[in-house]
Amino acid sequence: MKNKIALITGATSGIGKETAIGLAKLGATIVFTTRDNSKAEKTKKEIILKTGNENINILYCDLASFESIKNCCKEFKSKYKKLHVLINNAGVWDFKKRISKDGIENIFATNYLAPFIMTNLLLDLLKKSKPSRIINVTSGMHYGTINFNDIEFKQRFSGAKAYRQSKLGLILFTRLLAKKLKGTGVTVNCVQPGMTKTELGRDASGFSRMIFKLMGKDPKLGAETSIYLASSPDVENITGEYFVRKEIKKSSKNSYDMELANKLWDVTLNYVKIN
């Protein structure tokens, strides 16, 4: 990964941080986004200490704000002329309803709309840097469908349902984007890291947090497939797939529905106001 630049969202803890460490060990230049500069500086020092790689950089980005995402992408392009790997890793699971800076249900905004915007805004750079790769971190909980009648769960909020829908949306986005990028030298795949000890359930009840800790695996294990997809020559020409433990696996039936994917894409464009 020497002379390769990787941009990772949500790398101050959990799977994202372990992914950054793993790719830094391979020699990549790491750029990661943060909402907390103090925490990010500590993470940067930790990555450098563990890897000996000093090419670790930070960009501020609030993924719950369209304006912040656009500013982040603009800043990235002003500092870097290439992008070889984009890893949309960050995710949230709100147990109480929250609203993003743009007035949108926060899980939908952060887990799905944010990767959609960031990816599309950086596509020109990814194409110029080909061969390049996009990796979307999804979840085994993506079963269900897209609730187009109430996509933000305004009538009756459920954190679990909103989370599942956002991760299904990310897989549909991955599969459709792979078709749109055919022949460009840019691949896009998604990864299901399994239940991992992360900060995802930080807003849960005490009992639920305990379950997350007891059942969750080490973030290093959760990061292995993201690192593999970002660096291995074995997957250089594979695109539009769903990976679990470094292998292509079947995802839910609805995640292959291209009619559903196209409808979601159109709905998304109305939200994000980008071409």
* Residue 213 counted as domain residue: no
Residue 151 is assigned to a structural domain of this protein: yes
**Cα(182)–Cα(26) distance, integer angstroms:** 28
CATH, residue 236:
3.40.50.720
Indicate the number of domains in the chain. Answer: 1
Express each pLDDT in 126-184 by its tens digit: 999 999 999 999 998 899 999 999 999 999 999 999 999 999 999 999 999 999 999 99
Q: Has residue 198 been placed in a domain? A: no
Residue 124 within any structural domain of the chain: yes
Residues serving a catalytic function are 163
- The sign of the dihedral angle between the CA atoms of 71, 179, 166, 192 is negative
Closest to 171 in 3D by CA, of 144, 204, 196: 144
Range of the domain at 118: 5-193+219-272
Beta bridge partners of 188: 134
CA distances from 3 to 21, 58, 66, 112 (A): 16, 18, 30, 30
CA 205/CA 258 separation, integer angstroms? 37
- Residues 177-228: tens digit of each pLDDT: 999 999 999 999 999 986 655 555 555 445 455 555 555 557 788 899 999 9
Cα–Cα distance, 131 to 75 (Å, whole number): 22
Backbone angles phi, psi at 160, to 5 degrees: -65, -45
The pTM assigned to this predicted structure is: 0.92
